[in-house]
Amino acid sequence: MTEYREPALLSREADDIKDRLNLPEGLHDLKAKERAAIPQQEMPAQEARIRAHNMDEVALGYTESQVIVEASRCLGCKNAPCVAGCPVGINIPGFIAAAAQYKFDEALQIIQESSILPAICGRVCPQEKQCMQLCTLGKIKKDPLQSVAIGRIERFLADHGSSHSTLDSKQPSTGKKVAIVGSGPSGLTTAADLARLGHDVTIFEAFHKAGGVTVYGIPEFRLPKSIVSREVENLEALGVKIIYDYLIGRTRTIKELMEKDGYDSVYVANGAGLPKFMNIEGENLVGVFSANEYLTRTNLMKAYDRDNAATPLYSSKKVAVFGGGNVAMDAARTALRMGAEEVHIVYRRTEAEMPARKEEVLHAREEGIIFDLLTNPSRILGDENGRVRGIECLKYKLGIPDESGRARPEVIEGSEFQMEIDTCITALGNSSNPLVTGTTPELEVNKWGNIIVDENGMTSMKGVFAGGDIVQGAATVILAMGDGRIAARGIHQYLSNEAQPL
């Protein structure tokens, strides 16, 4: 198990490196070889056995010296391969170079040209599969985890910065009204871009708080809610209106928004919030939850604060979480923090195939989550009161790769075994919620219920655009934001063309 070192110690080490390499303010002429030799800066974090019992953020963030040193590792590659790995194309070498010269505000501005949610992305993006995967330094070290820690630098800049200058540069009003369905990363991004272009933007949100999955799904210990609300406040300062407790498809349909309420265009970013179950015996027993329910109770409804919150949480001793993605890691680590004595991740492939961010898998292991790999539940066992008392599982082995290129898990016959468990959490992914599409037959969807859009984000319904998880299927924050930017451009173009008399 990793020993966590004191942030102060890590910072002192960084200071030493800074002195040794002679990195005073503004001066920066290291050779590539020297840069490559600088060790990657370790992220200060709470000690595993302590953090496993609190909701405070796990990773504490780089200190200033660490950022200077880490930024100095960047080779400033001319072709900047890292940028190609970023779904919104942030000028990565640009912002890192600015950071290395202590120009933190300027660095943040460079990021904000492409991304309005750096404090969120710096924490939750799967960097090792995106920018860091293509980073030259990682290639040299033959390990994407050893690339420049781009996200950690981004996080520092976002937390450090007070500048929101790019958010302020607002165009004169166009008199056009745009409605946005959902306040997740995708809706927020589109809202920011459109407001900056001078459109009158209103977000409709079903819940009582804005942020989508970032407030109801991703736990406080990974992404503090105060960070999301700060981003939302910035947006409101731009003039974006947010109407809460408003369910499109029920309170109003999309058609009504356009015909009755006079919206010129609508952006649908309602996410992919329909939990999948496994259709196995015992799935409706008391003690079986979708990760969505479990996480919504703890995050959005604050059930972790037992003295104050009115929403109850099931009390669990032995928990099994089914799945291997971020959602599974979040549910498992939350259950541990809520007082469970033993938490298992039950996943039918191996750790190499787990879709979760590497850092989360590592953190989960450190905190004492038990990984039952190559294992899948076949039924859930109940007691005489209809409550979960255990699960029956089958063992798997990896077979030949399927169309997706991943090894196909195959059942080992006769490998059934039972585990004593009192709570099951299914984290098998989400499919698209049919509430909006079901009440808007004009919207064309594919066989999974995802809305089909063209290259500008426009749907089959005139003036209606869509993006984020409802288009991509359960994806990532940054992809949802990328879609939001494309749609904002598409909507702006559509509204500008509409304005021209024919």
Partner 1 sequence: MIEILKKEQLSSDVYLMKLHAPHIAQSRRAGQFVILMMDDNYGERIPLTIADGNEVEGSITIIFQAVGGTTLQLSRMKEGEGISHVLGPLGTPTHIRKHSSPVVCVGGGIGTAPLYPIVQAFKAAGNRVITIMGARNKDLLILENEMAELSDELIICTDDGSRGRKALVTEPLKELCESDVPPAEVVAIGPPVMMKFCSETTRPFAVPTVVSLNTIMVDGTGMCGGCRVTVGDSTKFVCVDGPEFDGHKVDFNSMMSRMSSYKEQEKEHQCRMDALAKDHIKGGTQP
Ligand X SMILES: Cc1cc2nc3c(=O)[nH]c(=O)nc-3n(C[C@H](O)[C@H](O)[C@H](O)COP(=O)(O)OP(=O)(O)OC[C@H]3O[C@@H](n4cnc5c(N)ncnc54)[C@H](O)[C@@H]3O)c2cc1C
By C-beta, is 92 or 192 nearer to ligand SF4?
Answer: 92
CA atoms of 418 and 484, how far apart (whole Å):
46
Which SS3 state, helix, strand or coil, does residue 416 take?
Answer: coil
Q: Hey, which residues between 226 and 255 contact partner 1 (CB under 8 A)?
A: 244-247, 250-252
Of 79, 162, 169, 308, which one interacts with partner 1 (CB under 8 A)? 308
By C-beta, is 258 or 488 nearer to partner 1?
Answer: 258
Which SS3 state, helix, strand or coil, does residue 381 take?
Answer: strand
Question: Under the criterion CB under 6 A, does residue 187 sit at the interface with ligand X?
Answer: yes
Binding range to partner 1, per CB under 8 A, among 78-86, 279-287, 393-401, 483-491:
279-287
For residue 184, the partner it binds in partner 1, ligand X, ligand SF4, none, with Cβ less than 5 to 8 A by kind, is: ligand X
Binding range to ligand X, per CB under 6 A, among 17-25, 122-130, 280-288, 385-393:
122-130
User: Which token pair is 173?
Assistant: 């009003």
CA atoms of 425 and 430, how far apart (whole Å):
13
By C-beta, is 144 or 212 nearer to ligand X?
Answer: 212
Q: How many residues bind partner 1 (CB under 8 A)?
A: 44
Residue with tokens 């060790």: 39
Among 322, 337, 171, CA closest to 239: 171
For residue 277, the partner it binds in partner 1, ligand X, ligand SF4, none, with Cβ less than 5 to 8 A by kind, is: partner 1
Question: Under the criterion CB under 6 A, does residue 313 sit at the interface with ligand X?
Answer: no
Q: Give the C-alpha distances (Å, rounded to integers) separating 104 from 1, 7, 84, 115, 167.
A: 34, 20, 23, 16, 17
By C-beta, is 315 or 418 nearer to partner 1?
Answer: 315
Q: Per DSSP, which regions of 422-469 are E strands?
A: 423-426, 430-431, 464-466
CA atoms of 288 and 151, how far apart (whole Å):
35
Instruction: Please provide the distance, in angstroms rounded to a whole number, between the alpha carbons at the two ends of the chain.
Output: 68
CA atoms of 154 and 161, how far apart (whole Å):
10
* In contact, 428 and 473? CB cutoff 8 Å: no
Among 471, 448, 469, 474, CA closest to 458: 471
Q: Where does this chain bind ligand X (CB under 6 A)?
A: 124-126, 181-187, 204-207, 212-213, 217-218, 247-249, 269-271, 273, 295, 326-327, 330, 357, 433, 435-436, 468-469, 475-478, 480
Binding site for partner 1 (CB under 8 A): 206-208, 244-247, 250-252, 273-275, 277, 279, 283-287, 289-290, 292-293, 296-297, 301-302, 305, 307-315, 385-387, 433-435
Query: Residues in the site for ligand SF4, rule: CB under 6 A?
Result: 74-77, 80-82, 92-93, 96, 135-137, 147-148, 150
